[in-house]
Amino acid sequence: MPTCSRAAATLTAVDAILYLLQSQEVGRAPPVAINLNGGRHHAQASGFSYVNDVVLGVQRLLSKGKMKRVLVVDIDVHHGDGTQEAFYYSEKVTTVSFHLHEPGFFFGTGTDTEIGAERGKYDNFNVPLQRGITDEQLHGVSSAL
């Protein structure tokens, strides 16, 4: 799927969330939408894509005024560096990235000391993992958050 189509799919998922928020009864759980082929979170000069659909989606959610805060959870082998960079100073977006982090592995970013800054301090969480982590270990780490 071309990058722009992925971004369009993410923005369509965001529009579905906004529609559900508008039509939903008060007190019910907030809606969730997932674009399994999205998540081009590396969009920056050192990354793999030129459109960060995650950032575009979060910005749309916040700009419509229906959500005060957004949580982005990134679970894959690479650090969500582009998403982290976009919201590092924001108190409106909490980012959590579970990723491989070991010597010599590209990018070399995403340590647990990268916690956000200024108004976004403590709204950025990196969970650097070593190769070979078991399901039980990952569950323990994610439960601790």
The catalytic position among 42, 79, 99, 101 is 42
SS3 of 99, please?
strand
**Which of these, 114, 120, 46, lies nearest to 88 by C-alpha position?**
120
- Going 37 to 54 to 94 to 85, the CA torsion angle's sign is positive
- Alpha helices (runs of H) in the chain, residue ranges in sequence order: 3-23, 53-63, 81-87, 135-144
Catalytic (active site) residue 42: yes
- Going 128 to 123 to 87 to 31, the CA torsion angle's sign is positive
Supply the residues annotated as catalytic: 42
